[in-house]
Amino acid sequence: MVRVNGDISADNTLNAILGKGQIVATLYNAQTDASFQSLIPRNDAGLLQTFEDYFSQSEQLESKLWVSSDKDNLCAILIQKMPESESNDSEDWHRIKTLANTVTDKELCELTADLLLYRLFHEETVELFDKTPVHYECQKDKQRFETVVLNLGEEEARKLLEERGEIAIHNEICNEHLFFNEKDVDRIFST
């Protein structure tokens, strides 16, 4: 999510839009109910290089990422160099990167995973694991936002209620608004 004051034109470069900022990556682990945030220095070469740098630094595995999209899908390939072993050397990594680098945007968006892997690596030994659907689950936890109201302090919360008639919080991650009225504020501060 990027916020910009003003208009963005087709002439703007990514560097002009983002400036010298950092990217905040938030990863949520549903099993531990914990979120982890990392500030990622932005690489002037672009967002793909920024995320490759992030994977290389955070996981300490050299990584390469290809991303494309069409009107219906966002498609990506991420490859990572596994730690050195007898069957894994730098020549293997170079060969896999070179083969993967031949992927086109059209192939990335239109081919199934098994066809794409065959197209790229048909001379390699490839193991395709069972599919696991990927979907976004926003953790809609109203109690966390009640804590935000509580942390405002009762005086500030009541002042906002008086000024606006309600307290509105925009949960940007879930893209939803939460509203707290006087009854909600009474309940939050009664405990």
Q: Could you report the per-residue pLDDT of 88-141, keeping only the tens digit for each?
A: 677 888 899 999 999 999 999 999 988 999 999 999 888 888 888 877 777 777
In angstroms, rounded to a whole number, what is the distance separating the alpha carbons of residues 44 and 58? 19
Do 66-131 and 142-190 share a fold?
no
pLDDT score of 13: 76
Domain covering 142-190, topology: CBS domain Like (3.90.1280)
Question: For tokens 């009762």, what's the residue?
Answer: 154
10 Å CB burial of residue 117 (0-12, 13-18, 19+) is middle
How far is residue 161 from each of residues 123, 143, 146, 167, 180, measured CA to CA in Å? 66, 19, 14, 6, 9
pTM > 0.85:
no
At residue 85 the predicted structure's pLDDT band, cuts being 50, 70 and 90, is low
* Structural domain boundaries in the chain: 1-60, 66-131, 142-190
* CB contact at 8 A, 147 and 159: no
**Structure token pair of residue 74:** 């966002």
Do residues 40 and 31 lie in contact, with contact meaning Cβ atoms separated by under 8 Å?
A: no
| CATH code, 66-131 | 1.10.287.480
Burial class (CB in 10 A: 0-12, 13-18, 19+), 120: buried
Burial 160-184 (b: 16+ CB within 10 A, else e): bbeeeeebebebeeeeeebebeeeb
pLDDT of the residue at 2? 55
pLDDT digits (tens, 9 = 90+) for 134-174: 777 777 778 888 998 999 999 999 999 999 999 999 887 77
